[in-house]
Amino acid sequence: MSSSELLTLFDACPHGVFLVDLEGRVTAANRSARCLFDLDPELSLETVWFTEFLESADAQMVREHLAELALVAESGRPDPKVRMLDVYIQPEKTEGRWFEVTMSLNLGNTHTSRLNCASIIVVLADITRHKTIESDLQRQNEKLVRDLAKLSRKMREETRQAQLNYQVAGEQIQLVRDEKKLSDELGARWRSLTENAPQTVMLADRKGKVLFCNRMSASADSNAKSGKRTVQDFIPAQDSSKVRQIIEDVLRQKQNKAYEVNGIDADGNPVWHSISVGPVVTKPGERAESVVLIATDVTQRKLAEESVAKHQEELAHVSRLASMGALTVELAHELNQPLGVIANYVGGCIVAMERPGWDRNRIAQAQHKILGETKRAREITLRILDFLRRRESPRMLTDMNWLLRDTLPLADLEAQKYQVTLLHDGPPDLPEVKVNRVQIQQILINLISNAVQSVAAAAPAKPHVKITTRRVDVDGIEVSVSDNGNGFDPKSADQLFKPLYTTKEKGTGMGLSICRTLVELHGGRITATATPGSGATFTFTIPKYDSDRDAMRVRAEFGAPEVAR
Ligand code: ADP
């Protein structure tokens, strides 16, 4: 190839090609190189240094490569190694671009073993596109790495969450197992407890059909074994409808109820059961569809109660005898009067009838008087007998004012002795209460007698005892006995009702204690208030008769053979 052809080729090369001396001074530049740096074709290149076109960092590296090549050249040993580096060049007028700079010694004739050259060929190949692609790839790569990192973090998080969930699920399974074990244990304990309970335990639906019953209930009724199981089979026939009603009430009101029934055992002895009925609500807020019935044999307690009641009645009886005993003188005096009158009239009649032509009418009149006085005496004895009688009919509906009027003559025996006036005040329309009349009379006589004695001891100007009746609560009665006697120390108000408490020389300390027992048997209360020196007031209440509440009390009372229903 001729020199001119070579020059043409050099100039036409699309890469920028510089020929620089060993110090980096440009000795030749082809068209592309001149275009690239906008070098005037006429410009003498002798004063141009190649590194001028580069950024300082790139220039420094190129200088190092050139210095290396200069050393190689000076050593005279050929070194075909090509020095390369990427540089970014920012021409004045055009956009900045990336170039791959290749530097190699201008070897000249390659066949010579010794190097004889004094120039370096510098080629600048435009690699901007390659760099753009590379940086795009780099960016994509980095994004990929970031996404991967994100993904891996997410996966790690999800794995951790899954592990946690797994752990929680494991714990929950364990919990369920524990709960099941606990509920199995509880169930077993409940079963054993229920089965071996000394009470009869039954589960029944709203119609009374027995869904479950324990051993005690099986032994309580033979029907249970034969499969015929309703609650009614376990209880006396007369209570059957009552139990059905109670089950309905319990389910409707969602409240426990208790009641007592009595019956006869296999040997014909009376037995008592206390039955508690409660609703079974399996989930809070749900309707109760079944009830649990627990029946406890309370026969022993009942017998003990009856025995106590009998003793109380004995005591009350003795107390009545004692109070009548104390009134014997007044009683004799009271009876003496009609008997005296009778004797007079009979004597008069005898004398009159001995005379001839006696007046038949006058004798008849005298006989009427005798009859009247006899009745009066009989009334007195009957009233006393009534009062002293040990047995009494069951409770009867009673007008308290009437009962009081019937009792006052007895109480008056003692009041007259001390010239104490008995006053009675009460509205005529009191509701009737169901009471044991003798017991209420005994309360009244005890209270009035105490009041009379207190008044007699105080001897006030107008000695009196006032008995007041009034309606309280719903159809209940309150009776107050007030006096203007000595009263008592209010601090001892509670003591007064204790047995054997007395401040009297010949007192028994039993009167108020018996009063309290009798009042409580009627479901009422008795209280005492006083102002020392000004008198005392004893008040007791008799509530409206409630058959359910009082059934047991009435049964316990002496002389009440059947439970009042
Ligand atoms: P007793 O009359 O035999 O003492 P009670 O039980 O009837 O027994 O009375 C107990 C005590 O209560 C009396 O001793 C007396 O101190 C007091 N007491 C009862 N009634 C009255 C009253 N109306 N006024 C003052 N004290 C009274």
Report whether residue 370 contacts ligand 1, using a CB cutoff of 6 Å. Answer: no
Q: CA distances (Å), 473 to each of 26, 451, 479, 541, 544, in order? A: 131, 26, 13, 10, 9
Residue 220 vs residue 444, higher pLDDT: 444
Tell me how far apart the alpha carbons of residues 441 and 522 are, in angstroms, rounded to a whole number. 13
Question: Which residue, judged by its Cα, is nearest atom 25 of ligand 1?
Answer: 487
Q: Which of 45, 44, 1 is nearest to 19 (CA)?
A: 45
CA 509 to ligand 1 centroid distance, Å: 7
Q: Which of 55, 64, 99 is nearest to 83 (CA)?
A: 64
Which token pair is 122? 């510098």
Tell me how far apart the alpha carbons of residues 13 and 33 are, in angstroms, rounded to a whole number. 9
pLDDT band at 553; cut points 50, 70, 90: very low
Question: Which residue, judged by its Cα, is nearest atom 14 of ligand 1?
Answer: 502
In tens, the pLDDT along 130-188 reads: 888 888 888 888 888 888 899 888 988 888 898 888 888 888 888 888 888 888 888 88
Contact of 256 with 268, CB cutoff 8 Å: no
The pLDDT of residue 192 is 81
To test ligand 1's pocket by mutation, which of 323, 420, 448, 450 has the most ligand atoms within 8 angstroms of CB? 450
Give the CA radius of gyration of the chain: 64
The pLDDT of residue 219 is 60
The pLDDT of residue 538 is 97
The pLDDT of residue 326 is 64
Contact of 122 with 20, CB cutoff 8 Å: yes
CA 496 to ligand 1 centroid distance, Å: 7
Question: Which residue, judged by its Cα, is nearest atom 7 of ligand 1?
Answer: 511
The pLDDT of residue 392 is 52
Q: How far is CA 401 from the centre of its chain?
A: 48
- For 521-536, b/e burial (b = at least 16 CB within 10 A) is bbbbebbbebeeeebb
Our CA angle for 442, 511, 452, nearest 5°, is 80
In tens, the pLDDT along 66-89 reads: 888 888 888 877 777 788 999 988
The pLDDT of residue 391 is 56
Report whether residue 105 contacts ligand 1, using a CB cutoff of 6 Å. Answer: no
CA 418 to ligand 1 centroid distance, Å: 17
CA 280 to ligand 1 centroid distance, Å: 52
**Tally of CA atoms within 13 A in the half-sphere of 424 that contains its CB:** 16
Report whether residue 511 contacts ligand 1, using a CB cutoff of 6 Å. Answer: yes
CA 388 to ligand 1 centroid distance, Å: 22
Mean predicted confidence (pLDDT) in 473-489: 93
Tell me how far apart the alpha carbons of residues 564 and 446 are, in angstroms, rounded to a whole number. 28
Ligand 1 nearest atom to the CA of residue 451, by list position: 23
Site of tokens 């005379």:
355
Q: Which of 238, 323, 95 is nearest to 565 (CA)?
A: 238
pLDDT band at 561; cut points 50, 70, 90: very low
Report whether residue 512 contacts ligand 1, using a CB cutoff of 6 Å. Answer: yes
Report whether residue 481 contacts ligand 1, using a CB cutoff of 6 Å. Answer: no
The pLDDT of residue 220 is 57
Mean predicted confidence (pLDDT) in 288-305: 83
Q: Which of 230, 206, 220, 383 is nearest to 280 (CA)?
A: 206
Report whether residue 441 contacts ligand 1, using a CB cutoff of 6 Å. Answer: no
Report whether residue 485 contacts ligand 1, using a CB cutoff of 6 Å. Answer: yes
CA 488 to ligand 1 centroid distance, Å: 9
Site of tokens 């006393």:
384
> Among the residues of 81-127, which ranges form H helices?
none
CA 261 to ligand 1 centroid distance, Å: 40
CA 503 to ligand 1 centroid distance, Å: 7
Report whether residue 78 contacts ligand 1, using a CB cutoff of 6 Å. Answer: no
Q: Which of 296, 320, 276, 289 is nearest to 445 (CA)?
A: 320
Q: How many CB atoms lie within 10 A of CB 54?
A: 21
Contact partners, residue 273, CB within 8 Å, separation at least 6: 200, 235, 260, 261, 262, 263, 295, 296, 297, 298
Whether the pLDDT of residue 423 is over 90: the answer is yes
Whether the pLDDT of residue 229 is over 80: the answer is no
| Dihedral-angle region of residue 443 (phi above 0 means left; psi in -120 to 50 means alpha; beta otherwise) | alpha
Report whether residue 480 contacts ligand 1, using a CB cutoff of 6 Å. Answer: no
Q: CA distances (Å), 119 to each of 70, 72, 520, in order? A: 9, 12, 138
Contact of 232 with 241, CB cutoff 8 Å: no
Whether the pLDDT of residue 344 is over 80: the answer is yes
pLDDT band at 114; cut points 50, 70, 90: very low
Q: How many CB atoms lie within 10 A of CB 313?
A: 23
